[in-house]
Amino acid sequence: MGNRGGILEVLLVSAEGIKNPNILGKSSYYVILKCGNQAFTSRITSVIKCFVAGGNKKALWNEKFAFIFSISDWKKLTHLKFKIMDKEVFSGGTFIGETTVHLGGILTEGNDKGFIELKPAPYNVVLDDDTYKGEIKVGLKYTPNVELPKKREFLRQKQLPQPIYKRIFKFWQLPLSRAVMEDYVQLDDHSTFDSTGYSTLSGNDSFAYCRTSSETSAFSNPTDDNSCSDELSSHWPTVKSLIRSQVALTRLGMKRQTGEDNSGNQDAANPELETMKERFSKLLLGEDMSGSGKGVCTAVAISNSITNLYATVFGQNLRLEPLPLEKKSMWRREMDCLLSVCDYIFEFIPSSQNHKDSPTFEVMTSRPRLDIYMNLPALQKLDTMLLDILESFRDTEFWYSEQGSLTSNTTKSGSFRKIIYRNEEKWWLPVPCVRPCGISEKSRKQLQHKRDCANQIHKAAMAINSTILADMELPDSYMTSLPKSGRTILGDSIYRSITTPDKFSPDYLLDSLNITSEHEALEIADRVEASMHTWRRKACTSYSKSSWNKVKDFMADIDKSDKNYVLASRAESLLLSLKQRYPELSQTSLDTTKIQCNRDVGQAVLESYSRVLEGLAYNVVAWIEDVFYVDNSTKHQNNGNP
């Protein structure tokens, strides 16, 4: 194991009301940060960042720094010092004042909790004559017990060129910063300004957009010894009365916010904007932050983003309880960003327009693509229903224990999902517990109702997912990898059953296979699906293009002597019966290949969204059945039954 230590990340936001030593001109400030034997210097604020706001000077930095020490070194550190300097032309700089932040309580609480983050707060600035004048606003985040990077590797990373995603940030920031500055020039001397960049909480409205409510907070980006912000990032002031018509990114695109917006809404726009920029930069680069062109396509990047977001938000949720507020806010905010791409996927349909004193004109109008128009609102409704079900588990008659194990070899008929998962191999999973008398009849009926609702949600999400996967194009790589013979794929026993001259019965064939595990069922499904497409390919090549179109239009009237078509139809019916008998069957190899090779962004969003909702609904049903199993076992023991 490598060397371990702690990381103290500092966000330098702004300074206000500090002394101006230059009588004839404006000052340019910078800050020297020192902790132990490490010191960083901030960038020098330009004239744009120093302006009059209510008679007080305000300098804006919005920069991040990281102090990295070993565990033994952190025990010796007591304070963090900020020294504010004024840049002079003919000297190294003039001392303005300093601020000392004591780290004793912060380090102690961080070591106890494993993590501590303090929102940006003002600290008094002490002048050289021990008087106070002005404030400096900083935020702190301390993470103990992390593996420190090797010094040689850290130095090598510092010498790498600027990542391409930061260049994309600059590309997006430049036009908006110019627009802000153009409006700034038109202001009079009585205009007022708010703080920049890292907004603090101001009521319940801004909580959903707080950076700390997401695991991807303002401190989560890579840092170096000097600064963790680009120079153009300081061109993003949050302004109360700067522009009457603010531009904010919502899931419906660029929405003009007019009227009398309060400061909470303005502060909330910047975190949302930063999140949108970061997410779409990663999507444009195909998750390849190096910019070397090795990233995946946009459709796969969006699919992976939704899957990873689900794992981040719901991965640790292993019990029936409300989702934490910060996780719930993160899920809704990030999903709004990812789903926003569907707002720009349209199709043209014919429509008529009526005009006064003129005939009716037939024109082409745009609307959301049919699959998105039909499925996306339904998935969003299912999403809301699942979160409401989890939210309802507040005052319950059961609780969870982290220790103990329950075992059961009972399996649900037609499904490989065990009623209870608690066994020796999964000892870390929480176990539901009830009172000795069990849960009341009222609570049991409520649980049954919630289980039925979650089960219906699971079926709906699974149906949407199956429809989207069926509509995806067959990848060429999958078709070229198929053997030429369906018998080679299926094996002799299944091939003899499927080619019988008698009436074919898929249910009878499944009964004769004696499937005992989900792995075996999935393997058979892969083989049957591959043979089906092999026979379809042979049937397609045996007809001309025009006659094959007729075959697709009149599939019921096809000649029974066409052996390939008959075998493909039987394989399709066998695959359908297999999926109906085992509805919780995992995705087949073809489904996985379709997801990996898909290039349609709309289908990628619908498939991944329905897949994660299907998984969440499945878990909710399983957790409720766990509670029922424990309740029944407890009641049987109290009644003296074995």
How are beta strands 398-401 and 431-434 bridged, if at all? antiparallel
Rank 416-420, 495-499, 559-563, 604-608 by mean pLDDT and report only the highest. Answer: 604-608
Beta carbons of 337 and 220 less than 8 angstroms apart: no
pLDDT (0 to 100) of residue 418: 34
> Which one, of 122, 120, 160, lies nearest residue 140 by Cα?
120
Q: Which H or E run includes 156?
A: helix 151-158
What is the pTM (predicted TM-score) of this model? 0.56
Average pLDDT, the chain: 73
Fold for 1-148, please state it. Answer: Immunoglobulin-like (2.60.40)
Query: Given this chain, do its domains 299-469+606-638 and 474-597 carry the same CATH topology?
Result: yes
**Per-domain residue ranges for the chain?**
1-148, 299-469+606-638, 474-597
Higher pLDDT, 246 or 616: 616
Residue in this structure with the two tokens 């649980």, named with its chain if needed: 447
> Which one, of 206, 247, 214, 202, lies nearest residue 333 by Cα?
214
> Which one, of 444, 412, 454, 457, lies nearest residue 627 by Cα?
444
Give the separation between CA 54 and CA 189, rounded to whole angstroms: 9
Give the separation between CA 303 and CA 300, rounded to whole angstroms: 5
In the structure, what pLDDT confidence band is assigned to residue 164 with cuts at 50, 70 and 90? very low
Is the model's pLDDT at 465 over the cut of 60? yes
Task: Give percent of the chain with pLDDT exceeding 90.
Answer: 18
Is the model's pLDDT at 109 over the cut of 50? yes
Higher pLDDT, 581 or 559: 581
In terms of Cβ atoms closer than 10 Å to its own Cβ (0-12, 13-18, 19+), residue 604 is buried
* Residue count of the chain: 642
The dihedral region occupied by 55, where left means phi > 0, alpha psi between -120 and 50, and beta the remainder, is left
Average pLDDT over residues 8-15: 91
Give the separation between CA 289 and CA 536, rounded to whole angstroms: 42
For 474-597, CATH gives: 1.20.58.1310
pLDDT (0 to 100) of residue 580: 82
pLDDT (0 to 100) of residue 402: 66
In terms of Cβ atoms closer than 10 Å to its own Cβ (0-12, 13-18, 19+), residue 579 is middle
Beta carbons of 421 and 429 less than 8 angstroms apart: yes
Average pLDDT over residues 381-392: 94
Angle (CA) 507-511-513 rounded to 5° is 120
In the structure, what pLDDT confidence band is assigned to residue 255 with cuts at 50, 70 and 90? very low
For 299-469+606-638, CATH gives: 1.20.58.2010
Q: What is the pLDDT of residues 351-382, one digit of tens each?
A: 887 777 767 778 888 888 999 999 999 999 99
Among the ranges given (118-122, 287-291, 575-579), the one the predictor scored with the smallest mean pLDDT: 287-291
Q: In the structure encoding, which two tokens stand for residue 88, read together?
A: 């002079």
Is the model's pLDDT at 321 over the cut of 50? yes
Give the separation between CA 235 and CA 88, rounded to whole angstroms: 23
